[in-house]
Structure 1
Amino acid sequence: MRILVVTLLYAPDGGPSASLFAMLCENLVKLGHQVTIISSVPHYPTGQVNKAYRSKWIQRSIENNVRVIRVRVPSVKRSVLWQRLVQFLIFQFGATYAGLGEQYEVTLITNPAIEIALPFLFLSALRHKATVFFVADVYPDVGIQLGIFRHRIVIALVNAAEQFCLHKADYVWIFSEAFRIGMNRMGVPDERLVVIYSWVDTEFIQPKPRHNLFSEEYDLNNCFTVLYAGNLGLSQEWDTVLDAAQKVQEHNSIRFVFVGDGTGRTSLMTKTSEMRLKNVQFIPFQPQSRIPEVLATADIALVSLQSGITSGSIPSKTFSYLASGRPILALVDKGSDVCILLQKTNSGVCISPNNPDTLVESILKLVGSSELREQMASNGRTYVEQHHSPQKAAKKVEALLIKAVNQRQNQKHV
């Protein structure tokens, strides 16, 4: 089967979706399929295009037997919405142009539609190709909640684009059962929704020694680390974390470590400075090759999402933390999929957002019990090995793509 994938980010770009789709595409190839992916040139999370990718508008390569087509986009300031919208539009024109000459039976296209509406229209809908639309977040809802979309016209355009893709796709792939509510509200019936949870490379991310080159480089060998690794964005609940850091300052060994970059990093650093927190450390975004030792440096791994953001999503970093064999403290809504997962697997603790005192209590409890931390870590590692490997995910996606192709063929014969 010839598969065309269209998504904004692809490895070696930063961001969880980039590495996830690299794993997926490579495993679909191993299952015997021809996979072509169209993405932008690497620019995440800083918004600045890597110098190695500035020479050509369209770049083609073969990477781990996957045909990769990269579209050049301009460097932007990610905190400025109009610049990002221009970047999205340029990517869409380039992706559409690059895909017109491709031959394929089925397309796998990722939301949000504001990033891929034109390729969806010209490479999928107008060509009457079988299509699976992957939904990682419910738009425009998530943008409204985060205050990114404020103007009625922007919200209306985002909603219209998303609705178009949702209703033209043969199937909508969602990351979580909780997404059904949002999708149903947008008019997508249950029979067109398929849940396939995220995955993690359990061979690449494994439990590693707590003391390693990364921990030595950043002077983290002689402290107890509460570590967050990933995008420092707008959806995380940072105030509660910093309040907790302030409350445990007398515990000299505890250090809060933020590894990564994003639109929220500057304001987070500013507030840390204003609060004069000496137990908070910021470390730059790390290349993918260092992720295992970064995660190994965590005594506790932190997931943090604002109230209302968590009900329908499990951040992919959650599975990476579990694979690394680290206990998780999740600052998320009770009843969210993240909380249900950690309770089911007994691999972490959930704390409601805006509750720094409870967060402090949970941290101190884990600080005082290495046995509890080790048990949670072991439980998490065992769970992801059994349920969230990229090989198992690829087989589920393969079945969904075949189902979409068969349905489209059956419609032609009616």
Structure 2
Amino acid sequence: MDRLSQEKPLKILVVTQYFWPENMRINNMVEGFVAKGHEVTVLTGQPNYPEGKIYADYRRDPAQFSNYHGAQIVRVPIFARGQRSLTLALNYLSFFASASTIGSYKLRGQSFDSIFVFGVSPIMVAIPGIVLGRLKKAPAFIWILDLWPESLRAVGVIKSPRLLGWAGKVVSWIYNRADYLLLQSRSFDESVKQYCTRAISEDRLVYFPSWAEDDFSGAAPVASDLLQRDDSVFTVLFAGNIGDAQDFPAIMEAVKAVKADLPVRWVIVGDGRASQWLARHVAEHRLDNVLLLGRHPLEKMPALFAVADALLVSLKTNEVFEKTIPGKVQAYLASSKPIIAMIDGEAAKVVANSGAGMVCGSGDALGLANIVRSMGALPATERERMGLLGRRYYFEHFSKAILFDRLEVLFRKATLRRSDK
């Protein structure tokens, strides 16, 4: 075991379609591993998320985006996301093609101890990591954040059994060639094994959850310049993607059900595919207690959370979503605020086991209305107690320091396994 605790710095290659100045959790990991003394290189695309256009500052001076807290950034050309399905598809395809070819060329002559893939959808982002793992003779780690192809079916992106079958074969090809598969949720295990058509040992399937960015787990935030505290109402805040998966129709039914008997202010922060529908619905039904603040930078979120009395997380009823822990759950726990959850499965267990809030089933609008009433009726001291329980649970189970230490040991173990062959 002492061989795993060597102090020799590691050479780590991170493969990610999205990276700083785009706002992604992987930025936090890269900064953390540089701070631990490791030599980190990031292979990524040109920044264009979420607006869909290459950032103007990057166009003017790409060199200023070539280093992040001491990590070298190697960028490859890609199609910008744009605003259409076609350009989004080209964006995805261009990254894995460009990173596998141009990226490999740009990284020629460099060696790495481990390759880490930030596996956001689509799963093809892992292909450059597999390619480079073979070229560099380094173990490839894929952090699986979404289940493919199940998530495609769950959100209705692909309905054709033939296309879903083809996507499943791509997933199998990737999983079979990865050295380690890191699972965002414990419930991913059976689904991932289903696509590992070659035998994979249990020690190479590793539970590795998300963490909250430092903004949420650090010192108390300053006052928000976007929203003021109002003690005459009970403030419920939702932050994140406003999409089909979040089931805003059910949330709006709960808003209407509660409006007559409890002064609740619903604050929605974020944007997404369902944003326009939500804005129209709020206007048409004259829901003047629903505030749509739009998308704001991550650094604004802790102050907004501090204004809220409770934080809302929701996902539609779906077998795939039951296995997922939305990244906002960790941020909510770390921020010491009670959680209202309209959700099933793994995320519901986290909220319930932590004692950090109240849970109703996915899609249960009346259930959501009831737990909002119940939470609103609690003394402020009881809600504060829930929030503190959540924060304690966060540091026991999702602390960035603990997770990064665990991953570092895994990197060293994989390096030793390779060298012993």
Q: TM-score, normalised by structure 2?
A: 0.87
Alignment partner, residue 35 of structure 2? 30
**What do the CA deviations read for 1:184-205 (whole angstroms, capped 9, x no partner)?**
2112553420012211245654
Alignment partner, residue 119 of structure 1? 128
Q: Is the 8 A contact 1:327 1:348 kept in 2?
A: yes
1:248 counterpart SS class: helix
Letter paired with 1:50: Y
CA distance in 1, matches of 2:72, 2:35: 13
In structure 2, relative to structure 1, the CA distance for the partners of 1:221 and 1:391 (3 Å cut) is same
Alignment partner, residue 330 of structure 2? 319
**What do the CA deviations read for 1:68-103 (whole angstroms, capped 9, x no partner)?**
23344333345x433211001222233231343322
1:215 counterpart SS class: coil
**What do the CA deviations read for 1:168-191 (whole angstroms, capped 9, x no partner)?**
011100111111011121125534
2:40 counterpart SS class: strand
Letter paired with 1:212: S
Higher mean displacement: 237-246 or 152-161: 152-161
Q: Does 1:84 align with 2:93?
A: no
CA distance in 2, matches of 1:121, 1:99: 11
Q: Is the 8 A contact 1:46 1:77 kept in 2?
A: yes
Higher mean displacement: 197-206 or 89-98: 197-206
By how many angstroms is 1:161 displaced? 2.4
Q: Does 1:355 align with 2:364?
A: yes
**What do the CA deviations read for 1:149-177 (whole angstroms, capped 9, x no partner)?**
23345434432322111110111001111
By how many angstroms is 1:6 displaced? 0.6
Unaligned segments of structure 2, at least 5 residues:
1-9
> Which among 188, 213, 225 is matched to residue 235 of structure 2?
225
Query: What pairs with 1:257-406 in structure 2 (closer than 5 Å)?
Result: 257-308=267-318, 309-333=320-344, 336-369=345-378, 370-406=380-416
Letter paired with 2:170: A
Q: Does 1:2 align with 2:15?
A: no
Unaligned segments of structure 1, at least 5 residues:
none
In structure 2, relative to structure 1, the CA distance for the partners of 1:47 and 1:367 (3 Å cut) is same
> Which among 83, 99, 106 is matched to residue 95 of structure 1?
99
CA distance in 2, matches of 1:319, 1:121: 29
CA distance in 1, matches of 2:68, 2:62: 19
Q: Is the 8 A contact 1:331 1:352 kept in 2?
A: yes
Number of residue pairs the alignment of both structures matches:
402
Q: Does 1:68 align with 2:80?
A: no
By how many angstroms is 1:210 displaced? 9.5
Q: Does 1:150 align with 2:132?
A: no
Alignment partner, residue 196 of structure 1? 208
CA distance in 2, matches of 1:146, 1:373: 34
By how many angstroms is 1:313 displaced? 1.6
Sequence identity percentage: 26
In structure 2, relative to structure 1, the CA distance for the partners of 1:42 and 1:101 (3 Å cut) is closer
Higher mean displacement: 402-411 or 340-349: 402-411
Letter paired with 1:108: F
Q: Is the 8 A contact 1:8 1:39 kept in 2?
A: yes
Query: What pairs with 1:122-137 in structure 2 (closer than 5 Å)?
Result: 122-137=131-146
Q: TM-score, normalised by structure 1?
A: 0.89
Alignment partner, residue 53 of structure 1? 58
CA RMSD of superposed structures (Å): 2.5
In structure 2, relative to structure 1, the CA distance for the partners of 1:316 and 1:153 (3 Å cut) is same
In structure 2, relative to structure 1, the CA distance for the partners of 1:248 and 1:272 (3 Å cut) is same
2:209 counterpart SS class: coil
**What do the CA deviations read for 1:349-402 (whole angstroms, capped 9, x no partner)?**
111022111211111111111232111111111222333222211111111222
**Could you say which structure has the greater relative contact order, defined with CA pairs below 8 angstroms and 6 or more residues apart?**
1
